[in-house]
Amino acid sequence: MRIAPELYLKRLIVGGMDRVYELGRVFRNEGIDNRHNPEFTSVEIYQAFADYRDMMDLTEEVVVKTAMKVLGTTKITYEGVEIELASPWKRMSMIDVVKEYSGKDFTNVTDLEEARAMAKELNVPVEPSFGIGKIINACFEEYVEDKLIQPTFITGHPKEISPLAKSNPDNPEITDRFEAYIYGREICNGFTR
């Protein structure tokens, strides 16, 4: 039972194919709750010479076209909440969205103790091993994630929580990575390698 088709798809890209994808079952022993199932269907996509912005555009296009083909509309109702899947989806950096929902601005925070103090003011628990990036992510999970009801891309993830993603050329402390959220749930993750 595999956890991802990643290595095989990357080999195809290295071997000269420009675009590859696979739709299939994956199995991950990461526990189970109302947001995670150890067995699920995944679409994994790789495109040579594309970056995370291209992948956001592709993700949005796939969701919108699928909704139109299957439902004939981009409006859905889930748990009594109307969600509009049509383009354009909102795009925000993690630091900006944390500031919007918590009131705390981590933009220029470079001191770990300052980040810990900000988390404490927000009543966000942090582990002793957390660096600034993990603290920002903990604040995001506590204050933001469940409020992202309409389709939203969150970009600019800290390097500390994105080890395989390419560093952003303008700010090496963040990465060229995105996650898309609908109804407070992460529906995908992607980044420039």
Tell me which amino acid residue 81 is. Answer: V
The pTM of the full predicted model, rounded to 2 decimals, is: 0.92
Q: Is 162 helix (H, G, I), strand (E, B) or coil?
A: coil
pLDDT digits (tens, 9 = 90+) for 66-90: 999 999 999 999 999 999 999 999 9
Strands 75-78 and 81-84 come out as antiparallel
> What's residue 133's pLDDT?
97
Q: Span 145-150, mean pLDDT? A: 97
Angle between helices 132-143 and 112-121 (to 10 degrees): 20
Rounded CA separation 124/142 (Å): 7
Q: Span 16-33, mean pLDDT? A: 88
8, 24 contact by CB (below 8 A)? no
Radius of gyration of the chain (CA): 18
pLDDT digits (tens, 9 = 90+) for 80-130: 999 999 999 999 999 999 999 999 999 999 999 999 999 999 999 999 999
